[in-house]
Amino acid sequence: MWMVRAGRGGDRVDDFIQQGVAGFLEDKLPDVGAVKGKDELLTLYAEHYPKEKEGSRGAWASQLFRWVKEVKVGDPIVVGDPERRRYILGTVDSDYVVVDLNGSRLHARRVKWAHEVARDALSTETKDTLGAIQTIFKIRAEAAKDLQAHAQPLGATVPERVASTRKDAEQDQEELSEIGEETFQRASEFIEDQIDRLSPMQMQELVAGLLRAMGYRTSVAEAGPDRGVDVFASPDGLGLQDPRIFVEVKHRAAQTGAPQIRSFLGGRRKGDRCLYVSTGGFSRDALYEADRAEVALNLITLPKLRQLIVDFYDKLDSETRALVPLRRFYWPVTNVAR
């Protein structure tokens, strides 16, 4: 079973149903039925969408190629209707064709739309599967069975929604919680990937921006020989007011060891505050060296830096946000009403 998007936000779903079609809205692309490989599609996308990113064009070409070459007549297909909280099921009824969809060019397949499924009837896991953002993708077997099990004739009167039992609600919330944990874990890993792509100088600017978000004034060492302090911060920016914060930033894959910690602490005096940021982490000896240090020292790993960036993101200045652009998103609280 294939899932196909009906335009942005499902706004073309009625057109799909009324005209008995499904497909990709690509006004700039010519008929691509004769293409023999993905490389030909990539060339066409580059020619007709030159301002788009290469990665975006590659993703579009991959999905359109599947639509043109992999989908077969007789394959089950589903399209979402977010406004009416339902999914429409049908069967692919033709090879690739180009049709006019109310003034837009649709790279299409003819489809016999026959059934619909209320979203509320589906399991949380199936809903999650159907939420993938690709224009076209294969639906997992379990999700396809769930859709087929709840299908009813298209246009049939939808029964009143029956309140779920406590047991069903608890099961849904448990599944939602598991999906949420996985989603947030993946988000954390991708944020760390974004941070890890920064250059050493950008990493120093990121750390300095984080300290500014915490209320300090900062200065960043100029590029050149390592002088032992990459970022300096204090309330007044001059070091005349405490705390005086000295920061070393090591942006590399290798762990930081005890010798680097000792070298960094050399020359620090009582009352100084020190941060050592190492995206490669710290060796056991380095952790021991930090524990026995006579001045306050906080070791910052990549995961800890990521968490600090997230915690203070709303207070970061625009220059710092531009280094790691993020967008806030919300997830339902998984509790069952008692």
Q: pLDDT at position 337, please? A: 47
Q: pLDDT at position 162, please? A: 52
Question: Does residue 146 contact residue 123 with C-beta atoms inside 8 Å?
Answer: yes
Count of CB atoms situated within 10 Å of the CB of 173: 16
Three-state DSSP at 192 gives: helix
What is the band of 197 on the pLDDT scale with cuts at 50, 70, 90?
Answer: very high
Q: Which residues pair with 117 in a beta bridge?
A: 87
Q: What is the mean pLDDT of residues 308-317?
A: 95
Do 200-323 and 2-162 have the same topology in CATH?
no
Q: What is the mean pLDDT of residues 62-77?
A: 95
Q: Domain 200-323, what fold?
A: Trna Endonuclease; Chain: A, domain 1 (3.40.1350)
This prediction has a pTM of: 0.67
Q: What is the mean pLDDT of residues 152-161?
A: 71
Count of CB atoms situated within 10 Å of the CB of 182: 11
Distance in Å from the first CA to the final CA of the chain? 38
Q: Thinking of the domain 2-162, which architecture would CATH place it in?
A: Roll (3.10)
What is the band of 167 on the pLDDT scale with cuts at 50, 70, 90?
Answer: low
What is the band of 338 on the pLDDT scale with cuts at 50, 70, 90?
Answer: very low
Q: What is the mean pLDDT of residues 136-160?
A: 86
Q: For the purposes of burial, counting CB atoms within 10 Å of the CB of 42, is it exposed (0-12), middle (13-18) or buried (19 or more)?
A: middle
Question: Structural domain boundaries of the chain?
Answer: 2-162, 200-323
